[in-house]
Every structure is written in C-alpha cells, then in structure tokens.
Structure 1
Amino acid sequence: MTETTIEQLRIPESLDGDEAADFLQAVEVSRQVRVHTWGNDELAYTAQELFDQCHDPFEWYVVLVARQGGDIVGRAGIALPLDDNTEQAHVTLDVLPGAEGLGLGRKLLEAAELFVKGENRRIVFVETNHPAGTLGDATVDPITATHGSGMLPLSNREARFAYSAGYDLDQVEQFSSCALPLEGSLVAALQEQASSTHESAYAVHQWLDRAPERWTAEIVRLEQGADQNGNDQDWDVAKLRKAEELSVVTGRRTMVTAAECLQTGALVGLTSISLLAHNTGVAFQDDTVVEMEHKGKAVGLLIKVANMALLMKEFPQARTIYTWNAPESSHLLAVNAQLGFVSAGVTGQWRKDFNAI
C-alpha cells in the first residue's frame, strides 16, 4: 500500500504558474467530492473562491492535504475565526471517492484536531452531507441533535464516522434547491397572496450590497434579536459596514429585501440572497428574519418573493438557488415550498468540545 502523508498546503501568491499546482489540485479534490455527493459541482469551491477565503481578514483558513504517491487525494480545510468565537474551529473534510475506506478521513481529522489544539481552539465543528437517497432511516438507531428536532441514523457511513470520532450531533439542517427563473404567474400569485394577508400594513425596501444609512441600526437590532445563542450581541453598524465592504472586495453580491411596519416605522423582517460575481449561475438564500409579533401575517412570504424577483431582475443568468433550514422551521419550509424549493437532502453539524474530554 502506498504510504499516506499529511502536510499543510502552502497558499500560493497567485493562481498562475507552477507554485499554484498543489493548490489547484486540492480544489479539484473538493470539486470531485461534491460531484460524487450531489451529482454536480454547483456547491464546489472554485479556485478563486478558495483563494479569497484564504485571505479573509476575519478568518484564518488553513488547508491540510493527504498525499499518496505524490498526488493529493484528500484535504481538510480549517477555518479559525479571528474576530468572534475565537475558541472555535470549523473543519471541512474531502477525500476522493476512489480513496475512501483507507482511513484517510480519520487521519486528516486527527491532524486537523492536533492543529486547532495547538492554536488553543477548544471547540471543533465538522459537517457531514447526506443526499436524500443515501440517508437511510433516521428512526433506526437514531442520533438525536442537541439543538432542534433533527436526527441522523447511525447506520449512515458519514454519520457513523463523525460519531465514532467523538463528535456530538449539534444540529441538522434541511438542504433544498429551487430551479430558476420562477414563472411570472407564480411570482404574481404569491405577491397577491402576501398582500391580501397583511392588508398593506408593510412597505418593502430593497438594496444591493450596501444597506441605506437609514436602516443600518434597524438591521443590527433585527439580527441581534434573531440570534438566540447570543453570538451577535457585539454586532454593530461598524461591523455591518465592514462585512459589506469585505463581501464586495471578495466578489460577493448580496440582494436584501426588508419589510417596514408602516404603523411604527421599524423594520420587522429581513431576507438576503447572495452569489459570487464570477459564478452568477448559482445563488444562495441566506438568513430570513421576521419578528415574533409579526409572524403569521405573510411577512416572510412578502419579502422572500420580492427578493427572488430582485435576483431574477439583477442576475437573470442564475439557474439555481440553494438554502438550508432547521427542520423545525416549518413556516419557512412551507414558504420555500410555495416558491418551488424541493428537498435535496440534509447536512449534519457535529461538535467536539475538548474541554469536556
């Protein structure tokens, strides 16, 4: 058997020339893994995306690679936040389908854990991906998530890998996709449904990339209120502006639609869609927030339909939009179904706390 070695990948100065060869090979490993998992490479990093991530000022991104006979056959991406949550690390594992079953995933994970321990990171997150057709029966030997109502079956290979490595299932998210463009008649019908439900109690506001100054404090308030774990309590207008600037610099475009309560003048709902300027065929539905007292009034439907319409207007070449939702978010899942989202599978977020070991 060919010896396997694990080493840290050197990030090249640019994507041109021989010095980028290993970096590009690692990107190709990730692409092949996603094609094998989801049937296409729409969720794969491009070389430019990974290169940009390695230069994110808010996050230190390290790549470990597994080699066999000089070829890169696996990689571990390690994201270490530099601003908030600095006790955490997020690890993404990719092993070529032809190299599975040889223990490479375990070796990469152990090397990644050793690295993050050396950086005094005490909490590690790992993600597993489960297409709908391969998940298995979650009610047989279920692993129940710590947060939310999700579960994964221990019989599933990816779930068993994380569980046997000492990780707890933190949460499960429903993964869905929607083909674009939407039919104009569907958009009109959903807009009419939302309007008839809320009886013109709300005004819609939209923007690209940068929020109007009048709404910045309201956006911060909404996002802080939506974070039940308290992770965004230090979020403020300055950090909002910094995040917007970073998104533009790294080529990310963002469409935002917000709902203003006309009675109070406050923002009560917010939703965003993002895509990359060099890959505008694929979009991602990001967070949707609606204040509790305004739920049940079709505010979520109102802003999501309007934002989808904005996406199709600004980026008519977009062919697919993806989203992740907690399985207990039944209202958002119902709205997504109205828009045409269909389930593609689930993702599991796994957590290991070294302080508890």
Structure 2
Amino acid sequence: MSLQIEQLWIPDSLDGEDSHDFLAAVEVSRRVRQSIWGSDDLAYTPLEKLYELRDPYERQVLLVARLDGRIVGVADISLPLLGDVEVAEFTLDILPEAQGRGVGRGLIGAAEHFARAEGRRHLFVDTNHPAASLGDGVESLLPDSGPGFVPLSSRSVDFARRGGYVLERIEQFSSCALPLDTVLEGDLLAEAESANAGRYRLHHWRDRCPEQWLADVAALDSSAEDLTLAEAAEAGMPPEDWEDYDAEALRRAEEIAMAQGRRTVVTAVEHIESGALVGVTTISVLPQRQDVVFQDETHVHLGHRGNKLGLLLKISNMQQLQDLFPDVRVIYTWNALENRYLLTVNQQLGFHTAGVTGLWQKQLPDFRTPKVT
C-alpha cells in the first residue's frame, strides 16, 4: 500500500484536462456525505465548490490523500483572512473503504503542519452524527460547554480525541420538508400576527438589502448586546467580528454570495412606531441545487423579543421562498442547543432533528519567536 498526501491544484475551470483530480476530490466529499446522512444534499457540486474556493475573505486549501494513486481522502483547510487570523478550520472526508489505513492520520497531520506554517494556532474540526446514532443508552461524550453529546463509540469521535482535539460544543442539525402544510402555515402565521398586535410590518427582498434598511440590518448582524452566544454561533460570527460588521461589510458579503451564484431570500420586520428594523432572517439557495436550501441567521432585537417575531419572520420567509423557488423540497439548518427559542420555533414549523455536529478545538503551542528586549 502506497499512501501519498499532497496539495490539490485548483483548476481555473471544470473543462480542462487539469480538472480531473479536483473532480475526483469533490466526488470523495459527496460520497462521504452520502454515507453519513443517507443523501448527498449537503455535498457541493464541482462548480459550487470552485466558486467557494474563490472567496476573497477566506483562503481555502485542499489536501488529498492517494492510496496506490487513487484519491480516497480530502482535507479542506479554511483560513479566515479577517477577524481571528490565527484560526484554521479543517473538514476531513475519507471514503469508508479507505478508513483504518492511516489516511485520516496522514491528512490531519499534513493539515496541522500547513496551518502551523501559515501562523495558525487555533485549530477547529467537526464531527457529524446522524440521529440514528444518538438513541437512548448510547455512551456519550459531553462538550466543555453547553448541552448535548456525541456518541463515544463513533469512529470520528475517537479519531478527534486521539488527535488531541477537545469537544467544545454541539450544534443540532435539522431538516424540514417543503412545501409546508397550508393549514399549519396559516395557523402559525395567525398565531404570530396575533402576538404582535399590529405593531410590526414585514419587508421582503432578495440578494441585496434595500439602501434604506442597510444600516439597520448591519446593526442587527453586529450588535453584541442583541446577540446571545447561541445566536452568534448560529450566524457563524465570532465575537471579535461583531463591532467590525457594518454596512460596507454587509455589501461585501452580498457581492460574494452573488458572485458565487447563491441567491438569498430575506424577510425583515419593522417596528412601526420607531420606523426601525428589529428583526431579520435569511435563507440561502445554492446555484445548482435549488431543491435544497439552508436557513441562515435569524436575529431579533433584544427589546422586541417575546412578541413571536422569530416565528413571524421564519414562516413569512419560508412562504417567500416557496413562491420564488417552487422546486424547493427541503430546508436545512444548524442551531446551537442553547438557543431554545429558535429550536422551539423550528419544531413548530416542522423541523426534525437529523443529527448533531460536534465542534472540536486544538491549540498549538505559541511558536512565534519572542522579541528580544
């Protein structure tokens, strides 16, 4: 057996002769997601992955593992270029038939070596566990903070622990079949509208925020006092970035999404008396898979909670989604388990737990040369 780890060349397009290995690597990741979740809904198409690799605010590097010349594993390394630039995030995909042959150890070792060379010392990796593996009586491993668990018998859990990674927290992964039942849809909308007693007005848009609401939406996305830790986690926004997220950053994020071919369906809620937006929710639609969509962040201003605005925003945005993209059949979302309100709203809407994701961290020693004084 010959194992070789190397950095993957990223082609300019999918049509050239140099795209063969890239296509093979994307196929490995698709097959791994198929084996974990029972479908490839969470897998990128080759074109979508190519778009993602061109993100100007996050450098991505792919390492591949070959067994006897065949690509059987991929390590996707993400290096944020803004915010905490000492972070590196890894995603490891190894074909089931190649496990137990040193592929994972080879890939994670090479990924860590690469991250260290790039000055990254805060390493993150995730493990994924379908609902069927989380039944009663399963021996579990608890995270350092927050609720939830991962199954101790999981091969990926054992791999992360042996590699020196510590389980930091758990996110719940949920799915909801679309279209929604029309009776349920009507009942939930009536419930939400009754709770806010005509004090709020909804606004909808796609892809690009109207100029008049730009500052309000940026403030909702960035206000540390309005975001619980759970909501910040769901939004994927590290605390050090909150104060830096402004209207200009929002426009940059919109431009990146559109350049990657993604569509964004947005619903916001205005407090009529003040004329300010006090809540927003978004759904992302991938360019080549408009039957599979992803619920992104949902924010409600702290002073306006308790009026079922989260429910109002989500049910209204799902209605907009179904009108704009009639082929959609499923929506997926990840939530921090601490965020009981949004988890309850999701349950009302018909979301079911598909599994959990364990988020693991490892700190490399500070390898910077000390200053001589």
Shared fold (TM-score, shorter chain, > 0.5): yes
Could you tell me which amino acid in structure 1 is paired with residue 101 of structure 2? L
Q: Do the aligned residues in 2 keep the contact of 1:179 with 1:320 (CA within 8 Å)?
A: yes
- TM-score normalised by structure 2 residue count: 0.92
* Cα distance in structure 2, aligned partners of 1:67 and 1:137: 38
* Cα distance in structure 2, aligned partners of 1:205 and 1:246: 23
**Percent of counterpart pairs with the same letter?**
49
* Cα distance in structure 2, aligned partners of 1:18 and 1:82: 31
Deviation at 1:138, TM superposition (A): 8.2
Quickly say closer, same or farther: Cα 1:288–1:53, change in 2 above 3 A.
Answer: same
- Counterpart for residue 169 of structure 2: 171
**Larger displacement relative to structure 2 (178-187 or 317-326):** 178-187
Deviation at 1:232, TM superposition (A): 2.1
Quickly say closer, same or farther: Cα 1:355–1:231, change in 2 above 3 A.
Answer: farther
Query: What are the Cα deviations for residues 78-104 of structure 1, in whole angstroms up to 9, with x where unaligned?
Result: 011112221111110000011112221
Does residue 269 of structure 1 match 2:269?
Answer: no
SS of 1:312's partner is helix
- Counterpart for residue 371 of structure 2: none
- Counterpart for residue 18 of structure 1: 17
- TM-score normalised by structure 1 residue count: 0.96
Quickly say closer, same or farther: Cα 1:154–1:56, change in 2 above 3 A.
Answer: same
Does residue 180 of structure 1 match 2:190?
Answer: no
Deviation at 1:137, TM superposition (A): 5.6
**Unaligned residue ranges in structure 1 (runs of 5+):** none
Deviation at 1:177, TM superposition (A): 0.4
- Counterpart for residue 198 of structure 1: 196
* Cα distance in structure 1, aligned partners of 2:304 and 2:195: 12
SS of 2:241's partner is coil
- Counterpart for residue 261 of structure 2: 251
- Counterpart for residue 27 of structure 1: 26
Does residue 348 of structure 1 match 2:365?
Answer: no
SS of 2:257's partner is helix
Could you tell me which amino acid in structure 1 is paired with residue 280 of structure 2? L
- Counterpart for residue 211 of structure 1: 209
Could you tell me which amino acid in structure 1 is paired with residue 363 of structure 2? D
* Cα distance in structure 2, aligned partners of 1:321 and 1:250: 20
Aligned residues: CA RMSD: 1.6
Query: What are the Cα deviations for residues 172-201 of structure 1, in whole angstroms up to 9, with x where unaligned?
Result: 100000111112222211110101111111
Counterparts of 1:21-100 in structure 2 under 5 Å? 21-100=20-99
- Counterpart for residue 370 of structure 2: none
Q: Do the aligned residues in 2 keep the contact of 1:78 with 1:112 (CA within 8 Å)?
A: yes
**Larger displacement relative to structure 2 (310-319 or 291-300):** 291-300
Q: Do the aligned residues in 1 keep the contact of 2:171 with 2:356 (CA within 8 Å)?
A: yes
* Cα distance in structure 1, aligned partners of 2:209 and 2:96: 43
Deviation at 1:154, TM superposition (A): 2.8
Q: Do the aligned residues in 1 keep the contact of 2:222 with 2:246 (CA within 8 Å)?
A: no
* Cα distance in structure 2, aligned partners of 1:138 and 1:93: 28
Q: Do the aligned residues in 1 keep the contact of 2:121 with 2:366 (CA within 8 Å)?
A: no
Quickly say closer, same or farther: Cα 1:138–1:351, change in 2 above 3 A.
Answer: farther
* Cα distance in structure 2, aligned partners of 1:198 and 1:47: 45
Counterparts of 1:114-153 in structure 2 under 5 Å? 114-135=113-134, 140=139, 142-146=141-145, 148-153=146-151
Q: Do the aligned residues in 2 keep the contact of 1:143 with 1:153 (CA within 8 Å)?
A: no
Deviation at 1:291, TM superposition (A): 1.7
Count of residues in Structure 1 that have an aligned counterpart in Structure 2: 355
**Larger displacement relative to structure 2 (193-202 or 179-188):** 179-188
Query: What are the Cα deviations for residues 209-261 of structure 1, in whole angstroms up to 9, with x where unaligned?
Result: 00011111111111112275342211111111111111111101001111111
Q: Do the aligned residues in 1 keep the contact of 2:48 with 2:287 (CA within 8 Å)?
A: no
* Cα distance in structure 1, aligned partners of 2:140 and 2:343: 26
- Counterpart for residue 349 of structure 2: 339
* Cα distance in structure 1, aligned partners of 2:329 and 2:139: 37
Could you tell me which amino acid in structure 2 is paired with residue 330 of structure 1? R
* Cα distance in structure 1, aligned partners of 2:137 and 2:168: 15
Residue number among 153, 156, 180 corresponding to 2:154 in the alignment: 156
Deviation at 1:319, TM superposition (A): 0.8
Deviation at 1:6, TM superposition (A): 0.3
Deviation at 1:116, TM superposition (A): 0.5
* Cα distance in structure 1, aligned partners of 2:195 and 2:76: 46
